[in-house]
Amino acid sequence: MFQMFQSHKRATQPGGSRSHHTRLVTKDGHCNIEFGNVEYSDHFAFFLDFWTTLVEIRWRFVLIFFVASFTGSWFVFSLLWYWVAKSNGDLSGQNRTEEHVRCIDNVHGLTTAFLYSLETQTTIGYGGRALTGHCLGTVALIIVQSLVGVFINCFMCGVILAKISLPKKRAKTVTFSSTAVICLKKDSLCLLIRVANLRKTLLIGSQIYGKLLRTTAAADGETIILDQVDIDFTVDAGKDNLFFVCPLTLYHVIDRHSPFYELSVDTLPQQDFELVVFLDGVAESTSSSCQVRTSYIPQEIQWGYSFLPIISRTKMGKYRVDFSNFSRSVCVATPHCAHCFQRDVDRRNHNSRNHPDHNQSGERGIDNRGFEVIDIQDSMDITKM
């Protein structure tokens, strides 16, 4: 096995390259973007779509809204009960005759009115405070409060249930490798990424695709920020409806149609782009759609490395996944650039057509004289990111 000399290979970092890269998508899938100068009417649209707003806001605000909705409704109706009792002369300090008929028993002030409102809406019913049935307005009011209480209970239970079952929580158990690698795979130069499902339940109808984000200049001189280019990823079995029961290695073939075709091991660290990878699927247990995202910058792409194997079979006949090697890679013989590899392939194809019986032993794409090649006998140079 041959390995390119690593010290020369990694000595390609430019002195002026940025050590910190601003991402649009973080490693855990969050979008790093903010909106400025938004009109007031657009802000009001968030309140019109209050259900989505409540589901998406943080838990602390949901809990505040939960407490405020119940206590607020209790207090509003306590004011109404207080007004009913005061209008009927049931409060303490009001002049009442012996023939006075109360509307509400044992409601003497605002505090007892609040307690009666709480007991009514929560159906506690201690028995100390109750309607007498002599005032028709109180019957209508207790019906309205009961309906409002049921509505608030249903609404808040729905918000909490929807927030707990958000599909993005399922995405937390799908992980990508911390780095991407570029190496030869099936006689093609490929960019490889690993993805794993940490649950035993499957993601149905999984699809993999990518977007390359970069700043480009149009023909008319216009600068296009965050220009998006489609990146096709596939596995050996295809790219749609993946059988996602064990970690998969995704690969993108770097050919003449790939936006990475102009790259080489020397120019890769100098690039300014962001590769965003998406995984869409439907959770088997909840039937909810979810999307997992991550991103890679040039400093997180290792040229000339290949992932270590992580799947083995135990003596008991079970398949075992070793996640300690999930993002680990080993240096392998890899062409210096896509151009030289493609020239080598074209030359061999041309020679094989012209001289089908002649065994070609000429220079190959990986025989780059700019690198020292050493023979590895006993150990591998393993890199853990």
- pLDDT of 245 reads 79
Percentage of the chain with pLDDT > 70? 80
- pLDDT of 24 reads 87
- pLDDT of 152 reads 94
Same domain, 146 and 216: no
Asked whether the predicted pLDDT for residue 63 surpasses 50, the reply is yes
- pLDDT of 368 reads 45
- pLDDT of 106 reads 84
Give the span between the Cα atoms of 353 and 375, in whole angstroms: 33
DSSP-assigned letter for residue 308: P
Same domain, 109 and 160: yes
State the Cα torsion 181-183-184-190 to the nearest 10°: 50
Same domain, 7 and 60: no
pLDDT, tens digit, for every residue of 187-241? Answer: 889 999 999 888 888 888 888 889 999 888 777 777 888 888 899 988 866 666 6
In sequence order, which ranges of 122-182 are alpha helices (DSSP H)?
136-164, 167-171
Mind giving me the DSSP string for 185-197? ETTEEEEEEEEEE
Q: Which tops the pLDDT comparison, 345 or 139?
A: 139
Check: CB of residue 192 under 8 Å from CB of residue 182.
yes
Task: Name the domain count of the chain.
Answer: 2
- pLDDT of 361 reads 47
Asked whether the predicted pLDDT for residue 181 surpasses 90, the reply is yes
pLDDT, tens digit, for every residue of 353-381? Answer: 665 555 444 444 444 444 444 343 444 44
Residue at which a domain ends, from 106, 140, 165: 165
In a domain, 171, yes or no: no
Same domain, 196 and 322: yes
State the Cα torsion 228-232-233-234 to the nearest 10°: 160
Task: Report the CATH number that the domain containing residue 77 is assigned in CATH.
Answer: 1.10.287.70
Which sign does the torsion angle of CA 27, 30, 31, 34 carry?
negative
Give the span between the Cα atoms of 372 and 382, in whole angstroms: 18
Give the span between the Cα atoms of 274 and 170, in whole angstroms: 25
Same domain, 197 and 141: no
Same domain, 151 and 292: no
In a domain, 151, yes or no: yes
Give the span between the Cα atoms of 13 and 299, in whole angstroms: 9
- pLDDT of 346 reads 67
Instruction: Indicate the pLDDT class of residue 172, thresholds 50, 70 and 90.
Output: confident
Would you give the end-to-end CA distance of the chain in angstroms? 23
Coil, strand, or helix at residue 340? Answer: helix
Asked whether the predicted pLDDT for residue 43 surpasses 70, the reply is no
Cβ count near 86 (within 10 Å): 15
In a domain, 32, yes or no: no
Same domain, 49 and 89: yes
Q: Which tops the pLDDT comparison, 345 or 212?
A: 212
Task: Report the CATH number that the domain containing residue 226 is assigned in CATH.
Answer: 2.60.40.1400
Asked whether the predicted pLDDT for residue 76 surpasses 80, the reply is yes
Asked whether the predicted pLDDT for residue 67 surpasses 90, the reply is yes
Give the span between the Cα atoms of 230 and 177, in whole angstroms: 20
pLDDT, tens digit, for every residue of 86-121? Answer: 888 878 777 666 777 888 888 888 999 999 999 989
Same domain, 236 and 115: no
Same domain, 366 and 318: yes
Same domain, 104 and 157: yes
Asked whether the predicted pLDDT for residue 328 surpasses 70, the reply is yes
- pLDDT of 238 reads 61
pLDDT, averaged across the chain: 79
- pLDDT of 349 reads 66
Identify which of 70-79, 130-139, 237-246 has the greatest average pLDDT: 70-79
pLDDT, tens digit, for every residue of 121-161? Answer: 988 877 788 888 888 888 999 999 999 999 999 999 999 98
pTM: 0.68
- Those residues whose C-beta lies under 8 Å from the C-beta of residue 35, and which sit 6 or more positions away, are none
* Type of residue at 205: G
Coil, strand, or helix at residue 133? Answer: coil
Give the span between the Cα atoms of 234 and 231, in whole angstroms: 10
Range of the domain at 60: 40-165
In a domain, 199, yes or no: yes
Q: Which tops the pLDDT comparison, 16 or 264?
A: 264
Asked whether the predicted pLDDT for residue 301 surpasses 90, the reply is yes
- pLDDT of 9 reads 42
- pLDDT of 277 reads 93
In a domain, 33, yes or no: no
In a domain, 173, yes or no: no
Same domain, 188 and 160: no
Which sign does the torsion angle of CA 13, 19, 24, 25 carry?
positive
Which sign does the torsion angle of CA 184, 185, 188, 191 carry?
negative
Segment 259-268 mean pLDDT: 89
- Strands 180-185, 301-303: pairing is parallel
In a domain, 379, yes or no: yes
Q: Structure tokens of 49?
A: 């779509």
E runs forming strands in the chain: 2-4, 104-105, 130-131, 174-176, 180-185, 188-197, 203-217, 223-231, 240-242, 248-253, 273-283, 289-296, 301-303, 305-307, 311-313, 319-321, 328-331, 373-375, 382-384
In a domain, 81, yes or no: yes
Q: Which region among 245-254, 306-315, 343-352 has the lowest average model confidence (pLDDT)?
A: 343-352
Cβ count near 263 (within 10 Å): 22
Same domain, 95 and 130: yes
Residue 179: exposure state from Cβ atoms within 10 A (0-12, 13-18, ≥19): buried
Residue 320: exposure state from Cβ atoms within 10 A (0-12, 13-18, ≥19): exposed
Angle between helices 59-88 and 136-164 (to 10 degrees): 180
